[in-house]
Amino acid sequence: MSERLWAPWRFEYVQDADAKNKGGCIFCVLPGEDNDRDNLLLFRGKSAFVMLNAFPYTSGHLMVSPFRHVGEMGGLNDEELLEINQLVKRCCEWVSKVYNPEGFNIGVNIGRAGGAGIPGHIHWHIVPRWAGDTNYMTTVADVRVIPQDLRTSWDLLAGVVEGKK
Protein backbone atom coordinates (compact mmCIF):
# COMPACT_ATOMS: atom_id res chain seq x y z
CA MET A 1 0.00 0.00 0.00
CA SER A 2 1.36 3.42 -0.94
CA GLU A 3 1.04 6.16 1.68
CA ARG A 4 0.74 9.79 0.57
CA LEU A 5 1.03 13.05 2.40
CA TRP A 6 -0.52 15.94 0.51
CA ALA A 7 1.67 19.03 0.85
CA PRO A 8 0.90 21.39 -2.07
CA TRP A 9 3.04 24.17 -0.56
CA ARG A 10 6.13 22.03 -1.31
CA PHE A 11 5.52 22.20 -5.07
CA GLU A 12 6.91 25.75 -5.26
CA TYR A 13 10.17 24.63 -3.63
CA VAL A 14 10.51 21.48 -5.71
CA GLN A 15 9.72 23.29 -8.96
CA ASP A 16 12.10 26.15 -8.14
CA ALA A 17 14.94 23.79 -7.19
CA ASP A 18 14.48 21.76 -10.38
CA ALA A 19 14.63 24.92 -12.48
CA LYS A 20 17.75 26.15 -10.68
CA ASN A 21 19.51 22.79 -11.02
CA LYS A 22 18.91 22.71 -14.78
CA GLY A 23 20.70 26.06 -15.00
CA GLY A 24 23.78 24.66 -13.25
CA CYS A 25 25.05 24.10 -9.73
CA ILE A 26 22.87 26.03 -7.26
CA PHE A 27 25.95 26.86 -5.17
CA CYS A 28 27.48 28.54 -8.22
CA VAL A 29 24.36 30.02 -9.85
CA LEU A 30 22.50 31.51 -6.86
CA PRO A 31 25.35 33.62 -5.41
CA GLY A 32 25.82 35.10 -8.89
CA GLU A 33 22.29 36.50 -8.84
CA ASP A 34 21.15 39.66 -7.09
CA ASN A 35 18.12 38.23 -5.32
CA ASP A 36 19.29 36.94 -1.96
CA ARG A 37 15.89 36.65 -0.26
CA ASP A 38 14.32 34.61 -3.06
CA ASN A 39 17.50 32.53 -3.35
CA LEU A 40 17.66 32.11 0.45
CA LEU A 41 21.21 33.53 0.75
CA LEU A 42 21.77 35.00 4.21
CA PHE A 43 25.42 36.03 4.22
CA ARG A 44 28.25 36.53 1.72
CA GLY A 45 31.82 36.32 2.95
CA LYS A 46 35.06 36.64 1.01
CA SER A 47 35.34 33.00 -0.08
CA ALA A 48 32.16 31.37 1.27
CA PHE A 49 28.48 32.09 1.88
CA VAL A 50 25.51 30.97 4.00
CA MET A 51 22.08 30.02 2.74
CA LEU A 52 18.93 28.36 4.02
CA ASN A 53 18.35 24.82 2.83
CA ALA A 54 15.32 24.85 0.50
CA PHE A 55 14.49 21.31 1.67
CA PRO A 56 15.20 21.57 5.40
CA TYR A 57 15.19 18.87 8.05
CA THR A 58 14.15 21.48 10.63
CA SER A 59 13.37 25.20 10.62
CA GLY A 60 16.62 27.15 10.51
CA HIS A 61 18.56 24.45 8.59
CA LEU A 62 21.48 26.37 7.05
CA MET A 63 24.24 25.48 4.61
CA VAL A 64 27.72 26.97 4.25
CA SER A 65 29.49 26.64 0.92
CA PRO A 66 32.57 28.02 -0.78
CA PHE A 67 31.95 30.26 -3.78
CA ARG A 68 34.39 28.14 -5.79
CA HIS A 69 33.02 24.96 -7.36
CA VAL A 70 34.91 22.35 -5.32
CA GLY A 71 33.66 18.85 -4.65
CA GLU A 72 36.08 17.55 -2.02
CA MET A 73 37.84 18.74 1.14
CA GLY A 74 41.25 18.41 -0.53
CA GLY A 75 40.25 20.99 -3.12
CA LEU A 76 39.72 23.75 -0.53
CA ASN A 77 42.51 26.14 0.37
CA ASP A 78 43.32 27.26 3.92
CA GLU A 79 41.51 30.59 3.51
CA GLU A 80 38.30 28.82 2.44
CA LEU A 81 38.53 26.25 5.24
CA LEU A 82 39.05 28.94 7.86
CA GLU A 83 36.18 31.10 6.66
CA ILE A 84 33.83 28.12 6.30
CA ASN A 85 34.52 27.00 9.87
CA GLN A 86 34.09 30.55 11.15
CA LEU A 87 30.75 30.74 9.31
CA VAL A 88 29.61 27.41 10.76
CA LYS A 89 30.25 28.87 14.22
CA ARG A 90 28.36 32.07 13.34
CA CYS A 91 25.46 30.03 11.92
CA CYS A 92 25.08 28.28 15.27
CA GLU A 93 25.03 31.67 16.99
CA TRP A 94 22.48 33.14 14.56
CA VAL A 95 20.19 30.12 14.70
CA SER A 96 20.43 30.02 18.49
CA LYS A 97 19.24 33.63 18.73
CA VAL A 98 16.21 32.96 16.53
CA TYR A 99 15.21 29.37 17.36
CA ASN A 100 16.89 28.53 20.69
CA PRO A 101 17.66 24.91 19.71
CA GLU A 102 18.83 22.38 22.27
CA GLY A 103 21.60 21.15 19.99
CA PHE A 104 22.90 20.95 16.42
CA ASN A 105 23.85 18.39 13.83
CA ILE A 106 26.70 19.74 11.70
CA GLY A 107 27.98 17.72 8.79
CA VAL A 108 29.30 17.44 5.27
CA ASN A 109 28.17 14.83 2.75
CA ILE A 110 30.99 14.22 0.27
CA GLY A 111 30.25 12.41 -2.99
CA ARG A 112 27.05 10.71 -4.11
CA ALA A 113 27.79 7.61 -2.01
CA GLY A 114 28.31 9.89 1.01
CA GLY A 115 24.79 11.26 0.62
CA ALA A 116 25.58 14.51 -1.19
CA GLY A 117 22.56 15.77 -3.13
CA ILE A 118 24.89 18.04 -5.10
CA PRO A 119 28.13 16.02 -5.11
CA GLY A 120 30.16 18.44 -7.24
CA HIS A 121 30.05 21.33 -4.74
CA ILE A 122 30.96 20.70 -1.12
CA HIS A 123 28.77 22.30 1.52
CA TRP A 124 28.22 22.07 5.28
CA HIS A 125 24.80 21.50 6.88
CA ILE A 126 23.93 23.18 10.17
CA VAL A 127 20.74 21.57 11.47
CA PRO A 128 19.20 22.85 14.72
CA ARG A 129 17.77 20.11 16.93
CA TRP A 130 15.35 19.85 19.84
CA ALA A 131 14.60 16.94 22.15
CA GLY A 132 11.71 15.06 20.60
CA ASP A 133 11.94 16.73 17.16
CA THR A 134 11.88 13.31 15.54
CA ASN A 135 8.25 12.30 15.94
CA TYR A 136 6.02 9.61 14.52
CA MET A 137 5.81 11.38 11.14
CA THR A 138 9.57 10.93 10.65
CA THR A 139 9.90 7.46 12.12
CA VAL A 140 6.73 5.91 10.65
CA ALA A 141 6.09 7.83 7.43
CA ASP A 142 9.59 9.13 6.60
CA VAL A 143 8.11 12.64 6.47
CA ARG A 144 9.36 15.80 8.15
CA VAL A 145 7.01 18.51 9.33
CA ILE A 146 8.50 22.00 9.05
CA PRO A 147 6.37 24.47 11.00
CA GLN A 148 7.67 27.64 9.33
CA ASP A 149 7.85 28.70 5.68
CA LEU A 150 11.27 29.49 4.24
CA ARG A 151 10.71 33.21 3.63
CA THR A 152 9.72 33.73 7.26
CA SER A 153 12.83 31.82 8.36
CA TRP A 154 14.95 33.96 6.03
CA ASP A 155 13.44 37.20 7.38
CA LEU A 156 14.05 36.19 11.01
CA LEU A 157 17.61 35.00 10.42
CA ALA A 158 18.49 37.94 8.15
CA GLY A 159 17.54 40.28 10.99
CA VAL A 160 20.05 38.55 13.28
CA VAL A 161 22.74 38.33 10.58
CA GLU A 162 22.41 42.04 9.87
CA GLY A 163 22.50 42.82 13.58
CA LYS A 164 18.91 44.08 13.77
CA LYS A 165 17.95 41.65 16.55
Question: Residue-wise pLDDT tens for the chain (165 aa)?
Answer: 444 444 555 555 445 544 445 568 999 999 999 999 999 999 999 999 999 999 888 899 999 999 999 999 999 999 999 999 999 999 999 999 999 999 999 999 998 888 888 889 999 999 999 887 764 444 444 555 566 778 888 999 999 998 755
Quote the strand ranges of 83-148, DSSP E. 103-108, 124-129
Largest Cα separation within the chain, whole Å, is 52
**Residue 136: its pLDDT value, please?**
45
- 41 membership: H or E segment, kind and range: strand 41-44
Q: CATH code for 10-161?
A: 3.30.428.10
Bridge partners of 104, per DSSP, are: 128
Could you say which of 61, 69, 121, 123 is catalytic? 123
Q: Active-site residue 61, yes or no?
A: no
SS3 120: coil
